[in-house]
Chains A and B, each alone.
Chain A
Amino acid sequence: MHSKRLKKIEPKQFYNLMCLFFYFRDRKEWADLEPVPQDDGPNPVVKIAYSEKFTDVFDMFRALLKNDEKSERAFALTAEAIELNAANYTVWHYRRVLLQALDKDLREEMKYITAIIEDQPKNYQVWHHRRMVVEWLNDPSEELQFVAEILSQDAKNYHAWQHRQWVMQEYKLWDGELEYVEELLEEDVRNNSAWNQRHFVISHTSGYSDSAILEREVQYTLKQIKKAPHNESAWNYLNGILQDGGLSSYPGLLEQVTELQDTCSSPYLTAFLVDLYEDALETNSSSYDQQETLNKALELCKLLAEEKDTIRREYWNYVSRSLQNTYGSGDPVASSSDPPPPSSSQQPDTEPSDP
């Protein structure tokens, strides 16, 4: 004899079968409150076909708001409203007013907001609410672990990183972060958010002016570049940390990078060399022959524009012209492939025109 296999029912369907939503307007504990329908006017635009439940909850919310009611039932209703539209910042604001007016347990609220964020991690309001609760509790002790949890699901969640940086700065929680960043880069060396966090931590702790730190960072980055030469993040980081120090004056860097050309060539390597040569020209470095450096830079720009990075052709041609114009000797450079400018030489006007 075979037992009949029941068809699997989704949790949401199960809920609906077992327990129909009991509208607030029909609940006796709410009988004293007259729901306030939304005032869209006689000829609505962008009119949303709200579900019955949505209308019921928000009609009641508007009633509470109108009476400025501060009660437990109001608090409970905000949770319903949030579930229907977690982006309704008016509801969140009201919930915060109630949290304070009713002196609610903020530890419980932390549990609540944790669950909501897990469910909707890309919403502004939920993260802001968490931040408010952490501030009221003055307790950041769960934050780094919580954010790490969220990042384990989406290592680039912008709101998560924003919250993490806020916690770290506000409560001075810098310890262990560089290690955390390295873990993330181990998992995905292309995680640009992690590279940004690396810069954030170091900037706010040791800084980059310490030459030992800078050397460590340069070597770390070159190591990552060798592993994956087409990883733009690593090249950008290398450029980013050497901006002030000077790419062309960093000892041995040009040699190290040129060495990579055989095994690790990429448009990013070529672009980096252009940046390096440009730096040499800008600083009028005595270690570089100016004319030769200019020629090399122009040659690489041409290579990028015509072959290796054609999507950025316009940009590389501009860089060429700029270099030529600034460091070249002789004739001023016109934007070569373009028609001669009209007699009233106008450039694009993106400013509001004067009345």
Chain B
Amino acid sequence: MEEASSPLRCFRESHSFELFSDDGVQTVTSKEQRKVECSIQEVYSVYQQIHTSPQPTLLREQHYHYLKKGLRHLSDAYECLDASRPWLCYWILHSLELLEEPVPAAVASDVCQFLARCQSPTGGFGGGPSQHAHLAPTYAAVNALCILGTEEAYKVINRFHICFEKLLDFLYSVKQPDGSFVMHVGGEVDVRSAYCAASVASLTNIITPTLFDGTHNWILSCQNWEGGLGGVPGLEAHGGYTFCGTAALVILGKDHMLDLKALLRWVTSRQMRFEGGFQGRCNKLVDGCYSFWQAGVLPLLHRALFKEGDSTLSMSSWMFERKALQEYILLCCQNPGGGLLDKPGKSRDFYHTCYCLSGLSIAQHFGNKDLHNELILGRDENRLAPTHPVYNICPEKVARAIEHFHRLPVPVQTGPTLSAMDQS
């Protein structure tokens, strides 16, 4: 355990040296960055005034009530997420599991039943009942089910006919000849789809010899001159896509084929020297959700480098400033009424709640069950459950799901393979 009483990085006198230097050349980028830094400085000074000895606190109670309510009811502000309801289930359930708040059996059963209704007759899950299957809600639904994955939930799953054989048909239906996947039949391609497909296929043990033909090469072509990965080949390196591509390659066992050094340099450079949080792209603004998408790449890289025989890796920490990230999340990303957010001034939402907490967990926990180093900023009560950096659900749930589905044989593709190209 690290000392809890050391001064916060953001309150050190030298911290103002980390403010953005615009070299006297003001552009939209520098002006936006300075605006954010000012608002963060405000937060720090308010915090210092209120708290004589700063002990950042995770507002567990408030977050719990926000999540508990959201799992049942959402305001009409959420109409824009009406095609992402399995996501809402996952974001909320994962946040609750990080907070180590149990989900009552009745609620768990209701979630399973709802996700069963989101299932498409041709396999995969849509954003709501009667919606077409889409890889993103499919990813979210499978993760949510695995989070619930007690024997009880698996019994419910079987009874409500969540069909993992048809899931394979769906994955084949969105597979492209070049190794990539479209997000849904007639939909767009980008590296998220490969991650969603690899995640659900590996958890449910439906990977066939041909399912991921060419996929790793396609993902590798998304790594660009910056060292990170873009959404499709040619695009700017971006935290969300970098996570998806890297995690997918880990699942496929091909992560060593990345230029790991270039990726490491890129992702570590995304941590903001003043704010402590991460930006999604070079010269853009900090955002709490990148606490997971970006920081979460570091455990993946650590493992990849280790497997490549690197003997100089740290034995006690991921290669980013863990305290600084925790400071950013705890001081700047919490809504006093519950829920977490992008940056001061933004509204809370369940997506940011999920990914800020996930990032906080990554920052707190180094290692695995055998070698574990915890660095909890503030009170011990701030400690979250560890999360699996590939799937972003708790490691025990990953293990349980894999164990459950590996007892079943890998299905054979049964349905017709409609090429996605034939669909409009």
What residues on B are CB-neighbors of A137 within 8 Å? none
What residues on A are CB-neighbors of B85 within 8 Å? 46, 48
B217 interface contact, C-beta 8 A: no
The answer to whether B27 touches A190 (Cβ under 8 A) is yes
With known contacts A39-B117, A352-B399, A229–B187 Cβ distance under 8 A:
no
B398 interface contact, C-beta 8 A: yes
A164 to chain B, nearest CB (A): 10
Contact residues of A between 232 and 262, Cβ < 8 Å to B:
232-233, 236-237, 240-241, 243
B203 to chain A, nearest CB (A): 8
The answer to whether A315 touches B402 (Cβ under 8 A) is no
The answer to whether B283 touches A192 (Cβ under 8 A) is yes
A226 to chain B, nearest CB (A): 10
What residues on B are CB-neighbors of A189 within 8 Å? 25, 27
The answer to whether A46 touches B316 (Cβ under 8 A) is no
A312 interface contact, C-beta 8 A: yes
B153 to chain A, nearest CB (A): 14
The answer to whether A190 touches B283 (Cβ under 8 A) is yes
Question: Of B71, B234, B265, B299, which is within 8 A of A45 by CB?
Answer: B71
Interface size class of A (residues with CB under 8 A): 35 or more
With known contacts A232-B282, A355-B402, A158–B236 Cβ distance under 8 A:
yes
Question: Of B20, B72, B366, B389, which is within 8 A of A230 by CB?
Answer: B20
What residues on A are CB-neighbors of B76 within 8 Å? 48-51, 54
With known contacts A44-B110, A48-B82, A96-B424, A318–B313 Cβ distance under 8 A:
yes
The answer to whether B282 touches A192 (Cβ under 8 A) is yes
B40 interface contact, C-beta 8 A: no
A65 interface contact, C-beta 8 A: yes
B281 interface contact, C-beta 8 A: yes
The answer to whether A352 touches B311 (Cβ under 8 A) is no
What residues on B are CB-neighbors of A351 within 8 Å? 250, 303, 390
A346 interface contact, C-beta 8 A: yes
The answer to whether A236 touches B127 (Cβ under 8 A) is no
B29 interface contact, C-beta 8 A: yes
Please report the C-alpha to C-alpha distance between residue A349 and residue B307 in the assembled complex, in whole angstroms. Answer: 10
Question: Of A90, A96, A230, A321, which is within 8 A of B83 by CB?
Answer: A90
Contact residues of A between 75 and 117, Cβ < 8 Å to B:
84-90, 93, 96-97, 99-100
Please report the C-alpha to C-alpha distance between residue A85 and residue B71 in the assembled complex, in whole angstroms. Answer: 21
Please report the C-alpha to C-alpha distance between residue A47 and residue B21 in the assembled complex, in whole angstroms. Answer: 47
Question: Of B75, B319, B398, which is within 8 A of A49 by CB?
Answer: B75
B357 interface contact, C-beta 8 A: no
Interface size class of B (residues with CB under 8 A): 35 or more
Question: Of B29, B111, B403, which is within 8 A of A190 by CB?
Answer: B29
What residues on A are CB-neighbors of B71 within 8 Å? 45-46
Question: Which of B49-57, B130-138, B167-175, B334-342 has 4 or more CB atoms under 8 Å from chain A?
Answer: B130-138
The answer to whether A349 touches B368 (Cβ under 8 A) is yes
A250 to chain B, nearest CB (A): 16
Contact residues of B between 308 and 330, Cβ < 8 Å to A:
310-321, 324
The answer to whether A352 touches B114 (Cβ under 8 A) is no
What residues on B are CB-neighbors of A346 within 8 Å? 367-368, 370-371
A32 interface contact, C-beta 8 A: no
Please report the C-alpha to C-alpha distance between residue A60 and residue B238 in the assembled complex, in whole angstroms. Answer: 39
Q: Mark B75-94, 1 if CB is under 8 A from A, else 0.
A: 11011111111001100100
Chain B's closest residue to A65 (CB) is: B130
Question: Of A40, A90, A228, A232, which is within 8 A of B117 by CB?
Answer: A40
Chain B's closest residue to A58 (CB) is: B82
Question: Of A43, A231, A312, which is within 8 A of B113 by CB?
Answer: A43
A137 to chain B, nearest CB (A): 14
B276 interface contact, C-beta 8 A: yes
Q: Mark A161-205, 1 if CB is under 8 A from B, else 0.
A: 110010001000000000000000001111111001001100000
With known contacts A49-B75, A89-B132, A232–B28 Cβ distance under 8 A:
no
With known contacts A188-B28, A311-B273, A318-B313, A51–B187 Cβ distance under 8 A:
no
Question: Which of A19-27, A295-303, A337-345 has 4 or more CB atoms under 8 Å from chain B?
Answer: A337-345
Question: Of A45, A86, A100, A347, which is within 8 A of B110 by CB?
Answer: A45
Instruction: Please give the residue numbers on chain A whose beta carbons come within 8 Å of chain B beta carbons, in ascending order.
Output: 36, 38-41, 43-51, 54, 58, 62, 65, 84-90, 93, 96-97, 99-100, 124, 127-128, 131-132, 155-156, 158, 161-162, 165, 169, 187-193, 196, 199-200, 227-233, 236-237, 240-241, 243, 266, 309-315, 317-318, 321-322, 324-325, 332-333, 335, 337-339, 341-342, 344, 346-353, 355
Cβ-closest 3 pairs across A and B:
A240-B225, A190-B29, A321-B312
8 more contacts with CB within 8 A, not counting A169-B234, A350-B299, are A45-B89, A46-B89, A93-B132, A196-B226, A228-B23, A314-B318, A315-B264, A349-B370
Can you name 15 A-B residue pairings with CB atoms under 8 Å? A41-B117, A46-B89, A85-B83, A156-B284, A165-B232, A192-B281, A192-B284, A240-B226, A311-B18, A322-B312, A339-B315, A346-B367, A347-B368, A352-B203, A352-B402
